[in-house]
Amino acid sequence: QKEVEQDPGPLSVPEGAIVSLNCTYSNSAFQYFMWYRQYSRKGPELLMYTYSSGNKEDGRFTAQVDKSSKYISLFIRDSQPSDSATYLCAMVKTSGSRLTFGEGTQLTVNP
């Protein structure tokens, strides 16, 4: 069983929709959580970083962490065609430095 599970999609939504992307994890040692966006032929771009349970908002993006359920989410409001990309969740254990990635979810926002 993988330590981090993420539905690979693909996920296709109309422009303006609210998008919900999710990851679950099995090891409570994971304490730091990140969401990366990766466009085709580009490197992963850090979108959100959080380490506590609860919500963190940045513009149209909200990252949510529920450590009791071992579940993290990224919400995208008013989605745009430019949001079409692969979204990778990533997390790090308390005493570690290795990023453990989910498989990535491919998102397409249709105009």
Partner 1 sequence: DTEVTQTPKHLVMGMTNKKSLKCEQHMGHRAMYWYKQKAKKPPELMFVYSYEKLSINESVPSRFSPECPNSSLLNLHLHALQPEDSALYLCASSQDLPGFFPQHFGDGTRLSIL
Applying CB under 8 A, the residues found at the interface with partner 1 are 8, 31-32, 34, 36, 41-46, 49, 51, 88, 90, 92-94, 96-99, 101-104
**Cα gap 61→30, rounded to integer Å:** 22
CB 6, min distance to partner 1, A: 9
Residue tagged 């032929």 (tokens): 41
Q: Which is nearer to partner 1, 73 or 100 (by Cβ)?
A: 100
Q: Which is nearer to partner 1, 14 or 97 (by Cβ)?
A: 97
Between vectors from CA 80 to CA 53 and to CA 83, what angle results, nearest 5°? 60
61: β partners: 58, 76
